[in-house]
Chain A
């Protein structure tokens, strides 16, 4: 537990020193949002609002995961991490937590920006929207951590990550989209919670897979 906390703190500290990753990813998200906002105009239908939200998250977070992994590869920093006496499962959970922090931060920025620029409804219903969005984010970050380490070990690196990550996480994205859309249309609580159950199950499955398989991916 303390080892995991130390690993997470290492990533947070590295980011606090440079602020490189968060700044660049947030700007990318903003740009993507502006392009989509210009295309659909103000006050789009709930399904469109949800789609813009997730498209932007996928775009920005995937770039973020790839960059975070590239930072670890730089001067073989990750080899040092692998030499520490920490179980690979713990390592996976710590890297996932760091990626999740990044994802949630990007999501928060996008929600605020989308509320101001495109869809005022999003801010008004944020309490209901947050549940399917955040649960989808957990599965996305966990899968991104496992597949990010895989993609970094190949010749194609960053290019390969979205090709692997988006299809595998599509179930979570689709269900989260349906939950966010339901929340935005003011649907009864039950229709927001039904997707939440699926998303929680997806998160648990991906976390278990990651804890089991991460050692096969990272060990030289």
Chain B
């Protein structure tokens, strides 16, 4: 039943993704100043928004885990953060690809890019923390605390990036462009398609994470049984 629902979601996502591609490459008009390069915007911006949502999802699940102690929330928090890092990586890559033809440089200390770079570091740190921590209750609590701290940091990172201009006023950049109605539609369909990608990936990752937790629990139980069995045999 659940599998068929995911299958249905996957078909819907595929259809929307095709529509998003059509919207980005055909339906949306050519931008006057940047030309066709600007079309990467229909991928870049949805990725950035969905990335924020993923980090928010991770922090929310972390709060629920600290409140209830239920393993499922921990798995959800870790899964969301993992996918968030993937999206943040893509945001940085597409932003850099966009910057190259428009500003003639692969990287600028543009507030949006810097925000995403710092977020990437925070959540890459989170994944490292999870890898370095063992799998007991305290370690899961520690990971949850870091997911919350990281997300509270998001608006602070964004605000602080505004001070960067005062620090190095080398390149003044702005990506605000007036959106024609067709552009807004292409963007909206792109946003819907990438949101579905996130939902689908998160559902699959959470299912894998739950299975991993179950396998670990079974393995622990078997070790306990073996120890208990040997103990009684000796006694």
Contact = CB atoms under 8 A, between A and B. Distances in A.
Given A150-B129, A150-B142, A209-B148, A177 B167 contact: yes
A207 interface: no
B156 A205 contact: yes
Q: Is the interface of A mostly helix, strand, loop or mixed?
A: helix
A216 B167 contact: no
Interface in B126-170: 128-129, 132-134, 138-139, 141-142, 144-146, 148-150, 152-153, 156-157, 159-161, 163-164, 166-168
B121 interface: yes
A164 B122 CA distance: 7
A213 B153 CA distance: 15
Contacts of B167: 47, 174, 177-178, 181
Contacts of B160: 170-172, 174-175, 198
A91 B208 CA distance: 39
A160 B132 contact: yes
B163 A174 contact: yes
B7 interface: no
A133 B90 CA distance: 35
A216 B148 CA distance: 12
Contacts of A160: 125, 128-129, 132
Contacts of B144: 216
Chain A interface residue number, banded = 35 or more
Contacts of A177: 167
Contact of A47 (B156, B157, B168): B168
A2 B163 CA distance: 40
Given A47-B167, A168-B122, A170-B118, A154 B153 contact: no
A209 B141 contact: no
Contacts of B166: 178, 181-182, 191
Q: Is the interface of B mostly helix, strand, loop or mixed?
A: helix
Contact of A164 (B66, B129, B163, B164): B129
Contacts of B159: 171, 198
Given A47-B167, A175-B163, A219-B138, A154 B133 contact: yes
A105 interface: no
A174 B129 contact: no
A150 B145 contact: yes
A217 B163 contact: no
Contacts of A163: 125, 128
A211 to B, nearest CB: 12
A216 B132 contact: no
A52 to B, nearest CB: 14
Contacts of A155: 132-134
Interface of A: 47, 143, 146-147, 150-151, 153-156, 160, 163-164, 166-168, 170-172, 174-175, 177-178, 181-182, 191, 195, 198, 202, 205, 209, 213, 216-217, 219-220
For the complex of A and B, list the 3 residue pairs with the smallest distance between their C-beta atoms, beginning with the closest: A171-B160, A167-B121, A171-B156
Interface of B: 66, 118, 121-122, 125, 128-129, 132-134, 138-139, 141-142, 144-146, 148-150, 152-153, 156-157, 159-161, 163-164, 166-168
